Amino acid sequence: MSDNWDKTVDIVVVGSGAGGMLSALVAAHNHADVLIVEKEKLWGGTSATSGGGIWIPGSDQAKAAGFEDNLDDAFKYVRALSADNVPDANIRAYVDHAASMLRWVTAHTKVVYTSQPYPDYHAENPGGSTTGFRTHLPELFDGKLLGDDLKTQRMPSPAASLFGYLQWTFAETYELLYRSRGWFKHLVINMAKYWLDWPLRFTSRKDRRLTLGNALTGGLRLALKEADVPLWLSTPMQELVRDASGRVTGIVVTRNGKSFRIAARKGVVLAAGGFDKNQLMRDANAPLYPRALHSGGVTSNTGDAITAGQAIGADTLNMQSAWAAPVFYVPGEDRGRLVTIERALPGCIMVNQKGQRYLNEAASYHIVGQQMAQRAYDHGDASPSWMVFDMRYRHQFPMGPLLPLVPDWAQAGAVKAIMKKGRTVEELAVAMGVDPAALSATIARFNQGAAVGEDPDFHRGDAAYDKMYGDYRHQPNPCLRPLTDAPFYALPIYPGDIGTNGGLATNAKAQVVDTQGQPIAGLYAVGNNAASAMGESYPGAGVTIGPAMTFGYLAAREMTGAND
């Protein structure tokens, strides 16, 4: 190595999401000297704000739950959904090594995952699982174990927490959603634990009861601390450095306001997220998803590592693609709020600006987001669309930021500013700026089918995935009920995303490749820095973080020569 480096390590990882942290941890366990650099003052990336789910075919946890998976089925399922330009080898590498990755995480960290009866998003396709058990969710993690590092962990997304601070599990989500026996007592207990957590409550809004993405990243961060792997915050990467042979030998960062050169003997792992919040990159690459403000990604996802890779000749793939999603946007917030459960519950519909339904509201958020974006692009009448619901829904369920049991007047001011209300459907339509006759006709047609549990236009509630988020207490179709109870409400809903998923082209070992398809020595990319092996599809819950961690695991093993 040259003498003009300020620091030399074996491996430097750029980004502190789940993929980056796991790559660093695996490398450290294989006796490498590792450093993580994070551009923001907070660690955890988009992973920390997510549900923390991972899609893992053939896991030990699934077998323990009685589900015998077939990796060839899983490959066939993903291959048929993924873009044609994604190599078979990349998909195969993910499917074949995901379970090994999770086995390693289970053995070497305090992160605990359980397999869930959560159907694949296209479960009826060949190789799909209608019973689930490929999606895994993290168990609770005790944030006290992190000490002061808890304060610099990213907060969960507003869509994945209560009141913006109280963390909850998926089981607790359903308990609150259906207000099942004991729900209020459990809510009071959890709120009391939060507010009585002294002295932390005087210095931080963080909940030490970590769930979902905070549980995953918290567990990985603790393991890194125990392995003495340093994580430098507020240290953005400026460029990649190569030697005369073209090998990437290190990076240049900004640290304490000065340029700082870090050498990497074995390699650099780019794990810094997509370009969700870079409006110029979105304009140039992703015309279907034009609004950076509506992305659910974190504000630091500006594509810096992707452009740094391009600057040294790296190829890119599927830059037009994103993890599409319908989102609510609350004025003043820095991101859109993913809408997952609400669309499938009975007593609501989605309409465009003409008052017409145009999709199955209960389909996976990726499919709904794609359809909304395409409709907006083709017809200009779907951004925003409207979620329309009646008073019975309003009383029973949340609709994004609009909370049940809380009177309209007591809702947050920004929420009241976007909420529309009418004593009749026609009055609501006027408030929405929609033709009253058209909206009335749409609701009348929907109500006719919903009364007998049918949706002849878009088949809502037919698929296993639709039913999963429906109200199991409502039959014959848990996703359908006529909108009949006045007053009527509407909230604007936008075609958004939870991150871009096109990026640097990589091979099955997570090595970044150049425009000739040849690996760039010393350079790896994982997560949304790399073009996803899913192409433009979303096969199931956890196919964002699952591959990020799996390819982070493979990259670390490749760099360190591990063969265990």
Sole residue written with tokens 């209300």:
421
pLDDT at 564: 52
Q: Cβ distance 372 to 326 under 8 Å?
A: yes
pLDDT at 509: 97
What angle in degrees, to the nearest 10, is found between the helix axes of 170-178 and 183-195?
Answer: 130
**Residue 215 three-state SS:** helix
Single pTM value for the model: 0.94
Angle, CA 313 vertex, CA 311 and CA 317 arms, to 5°: 100
CB within 8 Å of 246: residues ≥ 6 apart: 520, 521
Q: Cβ distance 325 to 365 under 8 Å?
A: yes
Q: How far apart are CA 108 and CA 113, in angstroms?
A: 13
Q: Cβ distance 94 to 550 under 8 Å?
A: yes
- 261 sits in which H/E element: strand 258-270
Q: How far apart are CA 381 and CA 433, in angstroms?
A: 12
Q: What number of CA atoms fall less than 13 Å from residue 330's CA on the CB side?
A: 19
Using CB atoms within 10 A of its CB, is residue 224 exposed (0-12), middle (13-18) or buried (19+)? buried
Q: Report the candidate in 251, 254, 301, 309 with the shortest Cα–Cα distance to residue 281.
A: 301
Q: What's the DSSP call for residue 249?
A: E
Could you give the domains of the chain?
A: 325-497 (3.90.700.10)
pLDDT at 445: 98
pLDDT at 161: 78
**Cis status, amide bond into 478, omega within 30 of 0:** no
Angle, CA 115 vertex, CA 110 and CA 116 arms, to 5°: 130
- Across the chain, which has 564 residues, the per-10-residue mean pLDDT values are 84 98 98 98 96 97 95 98 97 98 98 96 95 96 96 88 81 83 89 89 90 97 98 98 97 97 98 97 94 93 98 98 97 94 97 98 96 97 98 96 94 96 98 98 98 97 93 95 98 97 98 97 98 96 97 98 72
Residues paired with residue 159 on neighbouring β-strands, in sequence order: none
Q: What's the DSSP call for residue 380?
A: S
Q: Report the candidate in 289, 294, 296, 292 with the shortest Cα–Cα distance to residue 277.
A: 292
Q: In this structure, how many other beta carbons lie within 10 angstroms of the beta carbon of residue 517?
A: 10
pLDDT at 52: 95
β-pair type (316-317, 322-328): unpaired
SS (H, E, C) 92-135: HHHHHHHHHHHHHHHHHCCCCEEECCCCCCCCCCCCCCCCCCCE
pLDDT at 171: 84
Q: Report the candidate in 455, 535, 549 with the shortest Cα–Cα distance to residue 503.
A: 535
CB within 8 Å of 564: residues ≥ 6 apart: none
Where would I find the beta strands (DSSP E) of 378-509? 385-390, 420-422, 488-500, 503-504
Torsion over CA: 525, 527, 533, 536 (sign): negative
